[in-house]
Structure 1
Amino acid sequence: MDITNKKILVCDDSVLARKQLVDAVNEVATGATFIEGKNGAEAVELYKKEKPNLVFMDIVMPEKDGTEALKEIKSFDEEAVIIIVSSVGTQEQLKKAIKLGAKDFIQKPFEKNQIKEIIELRLGGK
């Protein structure tokens, strides 16, 4: 699947989690540019600066959690496509994230086919 000229922001406080997500995207699609952030504050800053086509973001992060970052990004750009990727999301946090405008949720550990489906659906990759 070719997603050349697409920017993907991957935001997680775990370096390993970011690497796994980037590797998974690269296994199912080629050509994307990746931007990485390690907390919600960086996610908001990087989103405003880079305007990525797709965001994968954890909920539980230092400085600013994923739901706060989601709210700020959506107030900046209501068309933002944000996918929550989290292992410790409670039902309440997930409901809040969806209510705030998250497009989808993937539970860690994720499967490659979940990433492929998101890329196809959200970036129109073929």
Structure 2
Amino acid sequence: MSLATKTKSNVLLIVDDSESIRILLKEVIALGNIKKKIVEADNGVDAVKLYQQYKPDLIILDIFMPRADGLQVLHALNKLNKQAKIIVTSASKNIPFIEQSKGYKISGVLLKPFTKQYALQIITQVINQPW
């Protein structure tokens, strides 16, 4: 069974203000032969709008961004869908604190800098998590 058939939709949302990170993540998804429509946002405000439009089954979300940071986006997504699968990315090593103190559901953590292989491992694990 392919990864695409195990999930509820066929859309993946990448949210990062760094174009190079968004490109790298798209390369990782192609490397893993993950068949999903990819939509992108470079800020938190657009991320929430795209989530509402596409209802992606996986969101890869940077914590520190302009206009609305990752914590604000997590809050909004939690209100829209408590079951959303979200991988947070950050150069900060303090993600467990963010998850515990704010009570947001996070499906995976991808600390920067990361290798393509490590990113693929995390993305695949989260895609394969039961709903």
Q: TM-score range by the shorter chain?
A: 0.7 to 0.9
State the partner residue of 1:68: 72
**Structure 1 residues 59 and 107: alpha-carbon distance in aligned structure 2, compared to 1, 3 A threshold:** same
**Residue identity (%):** 28
C-alpha distance after superposition, 1:23-72 (max 9, x if no partner)? 11111123211000011111111111101010101011000000110110
Structure 2 equivalent of residue 123 of structure 1? 127
CA shift, 1:104, in A, is 1.5
Separation in 2 of the partners of 1:85 and 1:76?
21
Structure 1: 5+ residue stretches without partners: none
Match of 1:21 among 22, 25, 36: 25
CA offsets 1:101-122 (integer angstroms, 9 cap, x no match): 1112111121223222233322
1:112 aligned partner:
116
When normalised by structure 1's length, the TM-score is 0.85
Deviation for aligned residue 1:100 = 1.2
2:10 to 6, 17, 20: 6
Q: How far, CA to CA, are the matches of 1:102 and 1:108 in structure 2? A: 16
Q: Deviations over 1:55-101 (max 9, x none)?
A: 101011000000110110111100011101111x252x542245311
Deviation, structure 1 residue 123: 1.9
Q: Structure 2 counterpart of 1:95, which letter? A: F
* Residues 75, 39 of structure 1: alpha-carbon distance in 2 compared, 3 angstrom cutoff: same
Distance 1:95 1:83, change over 3 A: same
How many residues are treated as equivalent by the alignment?
A: 123
Q: Distance in 1 between matches of 2:88 and 2:96?
A: 8
Whether 2:62 is the aligned partner of 1:58: answer yes
Aligned counterparts of 1:115 and 1:54: Cα–Cα separation in 2: 14
Superposed CA RMSD in Å reads 2.1
1:84 equivalent to 2:111? Answer no
